Amino acid sequence: MMNDTKPTHCLHLKRIGIDTYREQVAYLHRHCPLYQTEGFRALSKLEILADGQTILATLNIVEDDQLLSPSELGLSTTAFKQLGLTEGTPVSVRQPPPVHSMKAVRAKIAGERLSQAEYTAICQDIVAHRYAKEELAAFLVSSAQSGMDREEVLFLTRAMTDTGKHINWDEPMVVDKHCIGGIPGNRTTMIVTPIVAAYGLLMPKTSSRAITSPAGTADTMEVLAEVNLTMDTLRHIVHQERACLAWGGTANLAPVDDILISVERPLSLDSQSQMIASILSKKLAAGATHLLLDIPVGPHAKVTNMRDAIQLRKLFEYVALHTGLQMEVVITDGNQPIGKGIGPVLEARDVMQVLSNDSKAPTDLREKSLQLAGRILEFHPDVRGGSGYHLARDILESGRALEKMNRIIERQGKKEAVDVAELVIAVKSNHSGIIKSIDNLIIARIAHMAGAPLNAGAGIDLNRKLGDKVRKGETLYQVYTSFQANWEFVQEFIHEQGNGYFIAG
Amino acid sequence: MMNDTKPTHCLHLKRIGIDTYREQVAYLHRHCPLYQTEGFRALSKLEILADGQTILATLNIVEDDQLLSPSELGLSTTAFKQLGLTEGTPVSVRQPPPVHSMKAVRAKIAGERLSQAEYTAICQDIVAHRYAKEELAAFLVSSAQSGMDREEVLFLTRAMTDTGKHINWDEPMVVDKHCIGGIPGNRTTMIVTPIVAAYGLLMPKTSSRAITSPAGTADTMEVLAEVNLTMDTLRHIVHQERACLAWGGTANLAPVDDILISVERPLSLDSQSQMIASILSKKLAAGATHLLLDIPVGPHAKVTNMRDAIQLRKLFEYVALHTGLQMEVVITDGNQPIGKGIGPVLEARDVMQVLSNDSKAPTDLREKSLQLAGRILEFHPDVRGGSGYHLARDILESGRALEKMNRIIERQGKKEAVDVAELVIAVKSNHSGIIKSIDNLIIARIAHMAGAPLNAGAGIDLNRKLGDKVRKGETLYQVYTSFQANWEFVQEFIHEQGNGYFIAG
């Protein structure tokens, strides 16, 4: 049917040196005959066809002959890379077919319940880049707002799991842990993983980088070792050490999740259903069979009360049950940051102190890590119920966990030591009394403003925690940053929002 | 506070010849020191400051030294134009302040009711281009889905009206008409306006162009006359003729509506609340005091039953009452297209046939126009209730309406006659019987596929209407198009979806 018009559709491919990140952009010259006759509008979606490949891209119109001629089709760097052809290749362009699954999104907006087939179609279209940002937002908002019932959360989890790769480890037990987040510090994964692997369990841990928080496990591990590993390297390390601590981004696990998060985060949307599907789909795709899930509860945590925590736990349990994932949920104390350091370098210091049985190691980080490691060890049939904690402590105190961690670091590629940032400013108490609360959000925000995680040495080091006595003028915490301007941002923020500490009587 | 960092923020402005339509784009070189230190990410929003001006733009990263140097900041053509400065001007860049009204959007997502102050803040932020497309979608979906109560619709209408210009005509009565749309043909405005103006009422009509339909009033009028008028020209014409038939885009009336529609349309969102606020805010900003609103009802119209039509009418009436707009609602027959022609040239032909009292003029278009004109005339205190229709008919039959239309055309700038498109294909009946229904959506879709409104001569000419007898093989309608490819699209579509006619008995 397109035969008649094919000749006019033939343009020559050109790489345009513009990085448009997740949005694929195509460039046509304003005098391109195709643009004239087809009635494309700027920002409409185009389908680009060449050599049996197709990609979708958003149209920008070029007026500059130097950049593009009327007989060329330009692609932004990521789009060019995805199409994977050389410059000059003849390409044709057409209006993309309508995105059928948007019908289901509109049904969701109208308050309807969607089927497994509909969630699958939505996820497949998203991962094929058929959804524009506003369409992604429409899907996220509609499912956040009217809510999804628990079966729909299961449908979405399955659909998300199936959009990317599945890793198969060929072992009956593959353990994993996950925290729903929101607690600064809290770098337990880097302690739990070497303990559990030292015992012999398989724990191929892939983690994310921070986007809005001051550090993710991948950011902190990156201070010590390379985390950007190919699947082959990762498999090799796991084969030898029973564990790794890598960035999960290269594995293409549940890639639809990354696309959804890229819209969800800037909108600060916070939907339980999306969170559950996001977490469990990644774990299932990563080949986990056993998962320990940490839900911190506290006045400034993601979950603020026990009733909500239990409701969330049940929803997680329902989806895990129906996807064949053995899961334990622990509800933990989320009243304050865990450990002392916040930011990659400072958190890595805390982690290594715990693993080294250093007397300066933060007790709360050590204790929480042992509790979690103990629960994971108890997944193994040989470990008696209730004995996991002591087993974990033995492994830690004997130095076997540190030894395992050092081997993982060596295999992934040990990094040069990075110092904390050079500017240090003490934030002091304005009152004398006892510390009654610490606001996780404010502490995280300040560490982020100081430059963490992009500036690995930036962050916060806490001197005082909940229940400590403090006198007026004593230092509550130090802020580390590399730039005077950042420190001024922090000062202004503390002036407006407070320092995050509430001190009384 | 920014003083310390100001020197590093100083970049030189460059116009990049890329048209990104409604999305403002800024370009930074990957090796720009500012990009390195500030931790901007591709696609994040930037605030650009220069000479007391600020604009917001989405960041694209340039890798091509020819396009941009590391000491330059590039702006896409629309962004460059909006900033309004010359190339080379020193500009600084920073993270934009958080968009406070997004807090209200998140409250709406959570199902809360918003206040007048919140709707005002949202509209002001939207019109200042502070919302990304996904944020616009979040606002639209959240207010479409949980619905807005009638007071919220009023709040939104007021907020939208206040975001742009208000036209003041300095007359006690300024009449307007509006149809909620969905019925192909139906070009009554171009008949009603000259009738009403010939009587002496002030009707400064501004209309939109079609986006998804085969023609808007502005598209059809543009076949006959220039419609892209400056405010000064428009005022001058209205002063002399008591009327105009212009495109409303240049008047900057309720500009927030255009931004919302640019996201709403591609999503095919269809929210009553948004529609009411959109229509009434434009009318209020245009200075209308009296409005006749046409709600067509039919199985393939926007409103499919009388109960919904009455509910919609009441919502319109509530908002009109509280914004001081005198409004009459007429619920009309939306069972089939109005007139014979669909597409700019064919609709303009129908309109001129009615105004010329041509015996070939479509009766339904003439009758509906007279009914509507009659109701508008009755807004005037001198016109007795019930006598408007006859008055309108007298004005039409006497030739005064045609004379008025010709003067409006002359003043706006008469256009050369445009022919219908050269390829004509007859769509024939597959059955003998009586025409029981005509699907407006299918007819509109086919006319659109044929090329209307961009190709003014493309469209459909209906031979048969509801209730007509037809024999197998007789022509139901002709499709006019300029390109063989379009005709093939139409054929494929008719093959899959039918020709829009249901014939029985």
- CATH number for the domain spanning B360: value is 3.40.1030.10
Yes or no: say if A427 and A433 are a contact pair by the CB < 8 Å rule. no
Check CB contact of A19 with chain B, cutoff 8 Å. Answer: yes
Q: From CA A224, how far away is CA A221, in angstroms rounded?
A: 5
Q: Which positions of A are annotated as active-site residues?
A: 270
Taking an 8 Å cut-off on Cβ atoms, the answer to whether B484 and A4 are in contact is: yes
> Distances in Å between the alpha carbon of B396 and those of B204, B348, B352, B404, B426?
19, 17, 11, 10, 33
Is residue A137 domain-shared with residue A13, that is, in the same domain? Answer: no
CA of B244 to nearest chain A CA: how many angstroms apart? 28
> Bridge partners of B290?
B175, B326
Domain boundary among B94, B114, B132: B94
- pTM of this structure: 0.82
Cβ-Cβ contacts under 8 Å, A484 against chain B: 4
Cβ-Cβ contacts under 8 Å, B266 against chain A: 132, 134-135
Task: Give the residue ranges of DSSP H helices in A323-343.
Answer: none
Yes or no: say if A112 and A52 are a contact pair by the CB < 8 Å rule. no
Is residue B207 domain-shared with residue B338, that is, in the same domain? Answer: yes
Q: Give the number of domains in chain B.
A: 4
Nearest to A134 among B76, B136, B492 (CB): B136
Nearest-Cα residue of chain B relative to residue A28: B18
CA dihedral B20, B23, B28, B29 (to 10 degrees): -40
Is residue A266 assigned to a domain? no
Is residue B402 domain-shared with residue B286, that is, in the same domain? Answer: yes
Is residue A258 assigned to a domain? no
Is residue B233 domain-shared with residue B361, that is, in the same domain? Answer: yes
Is residue B165 assigned to a domain? no
Cβ-Cβ contacts under 8 Å, B452 against chain A: none
Cβ-Cβ contacts under 8 Å, B5 against chain A: 483, 485
Yes or no: say if B174 and B290 are a contact pair by the CB < 8 Å rule. yes
Rg value, chain A, Cα? 25
Q: Omega before A96 cis (within 30°)?
A: no
- What does DSSP say about strands B11-15 and B18-19: parallel, antiparallel, or unpaired? unpaired
Check CB contact of A389 with chain B, cutoff 8 Å. Answer: no
Asked if the interface predicted TM-score (ipTM) of this complex is over 0.90, the answer is no
Yes or no: say if A172 and A288 are a contact pair by the CB < 8 Å rule. no
CA of B353 to nearest chain A CA: how many angstroms apart? 30
Is residue A270 assigned to a domain? no
Collapsing DSSP to helix, strand or coil, B342 comes out as strand
**pLDDT, tens digit, 9 for 90 and up, residues B145-165:** 667 999 999 999 999 999 888
Yes or no: say if B487 and B444 are a contact pair by the CB < 8 Å rule. no
CA dihedral B25, B29, B34, B35 (to 10 degrees): 70
**Best residue of B134, B259, B484 to probe chain A, by most A CBs closer than 10 Å:** B134
Nearest to A109 among B144, B488, B492 (CB): B144
Check CB contact of B266 with chain A, cutoff 8 Å. Answer: yes
Q: Omega before A453 cis (within 30°)?
A: yes
The residue type at B11:
L
Cβ-Cβ contacts under 8 Å, B23 against chain A: 43
Check CB contact of A314 with chain B, cutoff 8 Å. Answer: no
**Best residue of A44, A109, A146 to probe chain B, by most B CBs closer than 10 Å:** A109
Yes or no: say if A198 and A401 are a contact pair by the CB < 8 Å rule. yes
Domain boundary among B361, B392, B412: B412
Is residue B227 domain-shared with residue B362, that is, in the same domain? Answer: yes
CATH number for the domain including A454?
3.90.1170.30
Nearest to A145 among B62, B145, B484 (CB): B145
Cβ-Cβ contacts under 8 Å, B267 against chain A: 102, 106, 134-135, 138
Is residue A366 domain-shared with residue A456, that is, in the same domain? Answer: no
How many interchain CB pairs under 8 A, A with B?
A: 163
Is residue A311 domain-shared with residue A391, that is, in the same domain? Answer: yes
Check CB contact of B401 with chain A, cutoff 8 Å. Answer: no
Is residue A161 assigned to a domain? no
Is residue B392 domain-shared with residue B469, that is, in the same domain? Answer: no
- pLDDT at B208 (0 to 100): 86
Is residue B361 assigned to a domain? yes
Taking an 8 Å cut-off on Cβ atoms, the answer to whether A102 and B146 are in contact is: no
CA of B139 to nearest chain A CA: how many angstroms apart? 9
Q: From CA A182, how far away is CA A299, in angstroms rounded?
A: 11
Q: From CA A368, how far away is CA A333, in angstroms rounded?
A: 9
- pLDDT at A253 (0 to 100): 85
Is residue B231 domain-shared with residue B285, that is, in the same domain? Answer: yes
Q: What is the 3-state secondary structure (H, E, C) of A69-125?
A: CCCEEEECHHHHHHHCCCCCCEEEEECCCCCCCHHHHHHHHCCCCCCHHHHHHHHHH
Q: Which residues 76-135 of A are in CB contact (within 8 Å) with B?
A: 76-77, 102, 106, 109-111, 132-135
Domain boundary among B384, B412, B440: B412
Could you tell me which residues come within 8 angstroms of residue B272 by beta carbon, excluding any fewer than 6 positions away?
B312, B315
Supply B503's token pair: 């014939």
Cβ-Cβ contacts under 8 Å, A19 against chain B: 30, 42, 60-63
Yes or no: say if B73 and B93 are a contact pair by the CB < 8 Å rule. yes
Distance of CA A316 to the CA centre of its chain: 18
Q: Which residues 145-204 of B are in CB contact (within 8 Å) with A?
A: 145-146
Taking an 8 Å cut-off on Cβ atoms, the answer to whether A269 and B106 are in contact is: yes
List the one residue out of A331, A341, A387 whose CA is nearest residue A364: A341
Cβ-Cβ contacts under 8 Å, A269 against chain B: 106, 109, 138
CA of B361 to nearest chain A CA: how many angstroms apart? 32
Is residue B129 assigned to a domain? yes
Distance of CA A241 to the CA centre of its chain: 24
List the one residue out of A60, A3, A256 whose CA is nearest residue B18: A60
Yes or no: say if A79 and A93 are a contact pair by the CB < 8 Å rule. no
Is residue B246 domain-shared with residue B380, that is, in the same domain? Answer: yes
Q: Which residues 447-466 of B are in CB contact (within 8 Å) with A?
A: 451, 454
Q: Which residues 466-485 of B are in CB contact (within 8 Å) with A?
A: 483-485
Is residue B471 assigned to a domain? yes
Taking an 8 Å cut-off on Cβ atoms, the answer to whether A141 and B146 are in contact is: no
Q: Which residue's structure tokens are 């499912």? A: A143
Check CB contact of A3 with chain B, cutoff 8 Å. Answer: no
What range does the domain containing B22 cover?
Answer: 3-94
Nearest-Cα residue of chain B relative to residue A18: B62
- pLDDT at B292 (0 to 100): 98
- pLDDT at A475 (0 to 100): 97
Q: Which residues 322-341 of A are in CB contact (within 8 Å) with B?
A: none
Q: Which residue's structure tokens are 């199902």? A: B111
Is residue A65 domain-shared with residue A190, that is, in the same domain? Answer: no
Is residue A132 domain-shared with residue A29, that is, in the same domain? Answer: no
Reading chain B (505 residues) residue by residue, the pLDDT tens digits are 333 333 345 899 999 999 887 778 999 998 887 765 555 655 577 888 888 888 888 889 999 999 999 999 999 998 999 898 999 999 988 877 788 999 999 999 888 999 999 999 999 999 988 898 889 999 999 988 667 999 999 999 999 999 888 999 999 999 999 999 889 999 999 999 999 999 999 999 999 888 778 999 999 999 999 999 999 999 999 999 999 999 988 778 888 988 898 888 778 887 889 999 999 999 999 999 999 999 999 999 999 999 999 999 999 999 999 999 999 999 999 999 999 999 999 999 999 999 999 999 999 999 999 999 999 999 999 999 999 999 999 999 999 999 999 999 999 999 999 999 999 999 999 999 999 999 999 999 999 999 999 899 999 999 999 999 999 999 999 999 998 888 888 888 999 999 999 999 8
Cβ-Cβ contacts under 8 Å, A492 against chain B: 1
Taking an 8 Å cut-off on Cβ atoms, the answer to whether A135 and B137 are in contact is: yes
Spans of chain A, pLDDT less than 50: 1-8
Cβ-Cβ contacts under 8 Å, B269 against chain A: 106, 109, 138
Nearest to B145 among A25, A142, A488 (CB): A142
Taking an 8 Å cut-off on Cβ atoms, the answer to whether B19 and A30 are in contact is: yes
Taking an 8 Å cut-off on Cβ atoms, the answer to whether B106 and A135 are in contact is: no
Question: Within a 13 Å sphere around the CA of B317, how many CA atoms are in the beta-carbon half?
Answer: 10
Task: Give the residue ranges of DSSP H helices in B84-181.
Answer: 102-109, 116-127, 133-145, 150-161
